[in-house]
């Protein structure tokens, strides 16, 4: 009987882990032991094989129950039950790289863009001598005695001159299963086994675009309005170092917007494009200022007498103070429009929003006796004026 394998331990999860936990654990480990990121490392390739075997069992409810009951021997050709299974209807499974199991796993993680192993367009060509890329992705089968020792290889055709069947246009991936090459079922899609696909001649080998990086950048109200340059620091996981990058913040940017720096993310694999650096902008508030799209709203406080008799008031703007005329009888809440004193358009620097200054009338406080007497006389005069108008 073969050595028992602890699939839970391989994935680093507890025996009562739910499906999502198992899936997350496998995804993390698959990236870590990915053959293309561990070139020439047979230990990593072997580990990748083991965790995929573990996931293929634990992600399947029926297989998981049988594993919990009988252990990994249930999936090993050395099982005493043999291919026929024990009495009571027990069914033996082999993780041997069969199409159904592998397609299920990769579709689950990468969607329908993983085209699967098509039956058409295959051709016998051995195990791909001269191929590169994923050679030895699975170095040997896991079926044990009686299982056929099936193997799965992924490779590019670099150096072998192989072509997939059908049109050479679009992307095409090359895989070998039990000595058969599968070139069909993948054409026209930009996504392959774990990411980007191969070129039509396979010359790029296995290719995967790098992941995007995300960072938050805080700017002041004025910096968002007029633009600025910021130096950001971020951890480069691939190099294990902190890097600095000067970034130009465009004038007119608003809170929550994202700046995309192409190619500044994680590096790609096998010639894949690097990811992007995505900077989310957070604009700090400025006391007394409120932004609505390209317009700015502020408050201007004017004396009671200026509101009554009219006059002038100084209004603060992003471009400096502006003196504007106050009409006699101006009411509290009146909006004074200052054209072109708002935020510049990100798309057209010649276009600006407006500033709206909302009038707030200051109520007199701490009046001396003479001022209070005059104000009462003013009140009486207004009442008398209203009385004469009513009588008329």
Q: Is residue 57 part of a domain?
A: yes
Instruction: Write out the residue range of the structural domain in which residue 335 sits.
Output: 287-392
Check whether residue 218 and residue 261 sit in a common domain.
yes
**Separation between Cα atoms, residue 133 and residue 198, nearest integer Å:** 11
Check whether residue 305 and residue 163 sit in a common domain.
no
Check whether residue 87 and residue 170 sit in a common domain.
yes
Q: Is residue 374 part of a domain?
A: yes
Span 17-43, pLDDT tens digits: 999 999 999 989 988 887 777 878 888
DSSP one-letter code for 352: B
Check whether residue 291 and residue 320 sit in a common domain.
yes
Q: What is the CATH number of the domain that holds 239?
A: 2.60.260.20
Count other Cβ atoms within 10 Å, centred on residue 322.
15
Q: Euclidean distance between the first and final Cα of the chain, in Å?
A: 116
Number of domains comprising the chain: 3
**pTM of the predicted model over 0.75:** no
Q: Is residue 200 part of a domain?
A: no
Residue 221's Cα: distance from chain center in Å? 26
Span 130-166, pLDDT tens digits: 333 333 333 333 333 333 333 333 333 333 333 333 3
Check whether residue 357 and residue 391 sit in a common domain.
yes
pLDDT of residue 333: 95
Q: Tell me the C-alpha to C-alpha distance, in Å, between residue 237 and each of 48, 212, 243, 277.
A: 21, 12, 10, 13
**Separation between Cα atoms, residue 54 and residue 153, nearest integer Å:** 18
Lowest-pLDDT range of 67-76, 118-127, 308-317: 118-127
Of 249, 283, 317, the residue at which a domain comes to its end is: 283
**Listed residue (282, 283, 265) closest to 274, CA to CA:** 265
Check whether residue 63 and residue 174 sit in a common domain.
yes
Q: Is residue 364 part of a domain?
A: yes
Q: Is the pLDDT of residue 57 over 80?
A: yes
Check whether residue 168 and residue 297 sit in a common domain.
no
pLDDT of residue 155: 31
pLDDT of residue 192: 36
Q: Is residue 206 part of a domain?
A: no
Q: What is the CATH number of the domain that holds 59?
A: 1.10.287.110
Span 238-262, pLDDT tens digits: 556 777 888 999 999 999 999 999 9
**Listed residue (226, 129, 111, 235) closest to 176, CA to CA:** 129
Q: Is residue 171 part of a domain?
A: yes
Check whether residue 164 and residue 63 sit in a common domain.
yes
Q: Compute the average pLDDT of residues 267-280.
A: 87
Q: Is residue 328 part of a domain?
A: yes
**Listed residue (213, 110, 124) closest to 162, CA to CA:** 124
Find out whether 275 and 261 touch, Cβ atoms under 8 Å.
Answer: no
Q: Is residue 192 part of a domain?
A: no
Check whether residue 14 and residue 144 sit in a common domain.
yes
pLDDT of residue 202: 41
Of 261, 283, 305, the residue at which a domain comes to its end is: 283
Check whether residue 33 and residue 172 sit in a common domain.
yes
Of 131, 162, 182, the residue at which a domain comes to its end is: 182
Check whether residue 85 and residue 156 sit in a common domain.
yes
Check whether residue 122 and residue 65 sit in a common domain.
yes
**Separation between Cα atoms, residue 57 and residue 13, nearest integer Å:** 14
Span 63-104, pLDDT tens digits: 998 888 877 666 655 444 444 444 333 333 444 444 455 555
């Amino acid at each position: 009987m073969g050595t028992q394998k602890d699939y839970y331990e391989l994935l680093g999860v507890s025996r009562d882990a739910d499906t999502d936990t198992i899936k997350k654990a496998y995804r993390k480990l698959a990236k870590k032991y990915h053959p293309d990121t561990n070139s020439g490392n047979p230990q990593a390739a072997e580990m990748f094989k083991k965790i995929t075997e573990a996931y293929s069992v634990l992600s399947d409810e029926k297989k998981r129950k049988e594993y919990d009951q009988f252990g990994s021997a249930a999936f090993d050709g050395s099982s005493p039950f043999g291919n026929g299974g024990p009495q009571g209807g027990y069914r033996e499974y082999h993780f041997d790289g069969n199409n159904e199991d592998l397609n299920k796993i990769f579709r689950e993680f990468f969607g329908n863009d993983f085209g699967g192993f098509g039956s058409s367009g295959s051709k016998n060509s051995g195990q791909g001598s001269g191929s590169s890329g994923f050679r030895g992705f699975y170095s040997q089968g896991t079926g044990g005695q009686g299982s056929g020792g099936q193997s799965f290889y992924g490779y590019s055709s670099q150096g072998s001159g192989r072509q997939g069947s059908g049109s050479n246009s679009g992307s095409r991936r090359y895989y070998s299963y039990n000595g058969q090459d599968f070139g069909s079922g993948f054409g026209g899609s930009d996504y392959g086994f774990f990411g980007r696909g191969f070129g039509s001649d396979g010359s790029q080998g296995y290719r995967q675009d790098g992941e995007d990086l995300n960072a938050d950048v805080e700017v002041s109200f004025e910096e968002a309005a007029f633009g600025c340059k910021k130096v950001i620091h971020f951890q480069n996981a691939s190099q294990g170092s902190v890097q600095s990058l000067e970034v130009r913040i465009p004038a007119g940017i608003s809170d929550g917007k994202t700046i995309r720096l192409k190619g500044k993310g994680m590096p790609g694999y096998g010639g894949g494009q690097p990811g992007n650096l995505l900077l989310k902008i957070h604009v700090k508030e400025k006391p007394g200022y409120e932004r609505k799209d390209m317009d700015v709203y502020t408050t201007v406080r004017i004396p009671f007498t200026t509101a009554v008799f009219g006059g002038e008031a100084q209004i603060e703007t992003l471009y400096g103070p502006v003196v504007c005329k106050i009409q006699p009888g101006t009411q509290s809440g009146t909006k004074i429009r200052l054209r072109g004193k708002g935020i510049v358009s990100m798309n057209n620097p010649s276009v600006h929003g407006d500033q709206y200054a909302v009038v707030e009338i200051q109520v007199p406080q701490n009046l001396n006796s003479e001022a209070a007497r005059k104000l009462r006389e003013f009140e009486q005069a207004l009442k008398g004026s209203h009385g004469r108008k009513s009588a008329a």
